[in-house]
Amino acid sequence: MEYAKSILDTIGNTPLVKINRLTAELPCLVLAKYETFNPGNSVKDRMALKMIEDAESNGLLKPGGTIVEGTSGNTGMGLALAATVKGYKLICVTTDKQSKEKVDILKAMGSEVHVCPTDVEPDDPKSYYSTARRLAQEIPNAWYVNQYDNPSNSKAHFESTGPEIWEQTQGTVTHFVVGVGTGGTISGVGRYLKSKNPNIKVWGVDTYGSVFKKYHETGIFDKNEIYPYITEGIGEDILPKNVDFNIIDGFTKVTDKDAAVYTQRLAREEGMFLGNSAGAAIKGVLQLKEHFRKDDVVVVLFHDHGSRYVAKMFNDEWMRKQGFLD
């Protein structure tokens, strides 16, 4: 018989899917690394499991312990899968910017959820960063995941996502494009691909209101770049240790409106029901058109599933209120 020993054994080995209509103007082949095929419907399943397994090995996470993490939702879902299977309690701290669906899904998986304000400084006691750290200190036998600075995040993608892309393209991949949040995906995949072929270009998709693009180009952390934005899952007002700027060849910024509109277009023109960051990612690919040639193979990674955004990007009334639809 052929079966997985637990749901955790189904993480990874996601397909590459050709983008057709939305990239018709491009001279190259564009393939989507379709991460919603993971059991938690996002790329974060990979690093969530890796971080937990490494914490177990290092003695940081003990039997019957409590896992505490600040998350935009998807890492929390990956942690919830592993916590359930392995017998841990999970506390997720998120922001009021995240979709209601994400909070409801975390609760449905048995997680305790704390919602914090978005529009505060990272070191403010009310921020989700500070709240997660405080809870981990106060709760006995608790482990703070800290996906932003935890090296197991990037390591997961060096060991799984990167090799999968290399093997699936038979080593022909020329560009890797992905939205950047914690930095684990772009840094882990990018480091692996460049170890196989240093000429592969690695592009990050950033959002307006985030510090990544300017910092990469100038080395300046400009607080004037920081302001609230709607796009979920990418961009930051901090510099996570997992973002290896030496691996990244460049960034392109995508507006909230374009990210939302292209999220809808992926569903309606490609049959791809995906999350908000996928809209940003495919628009980022289109903005990078001048960098692609006829025989190039561009792989763009799509993080998560559209079910997390039904009340937002897939709700035309919400889209009109934001000024994203006429």
Q: How far apart are CA 304 and CA 290, in angstroms?
A: 27
Judge contact between 35 and 308, C-beta under 8 A: no
Judge contact between 143 and 66, C-beta under 8 A: yes
112, β-bridge pairs? 91
| 107 noted as active-site residue | no
Catalytic position from the list 5, 18, 33, 44: 44
As annotated, the active-site residues are: 44
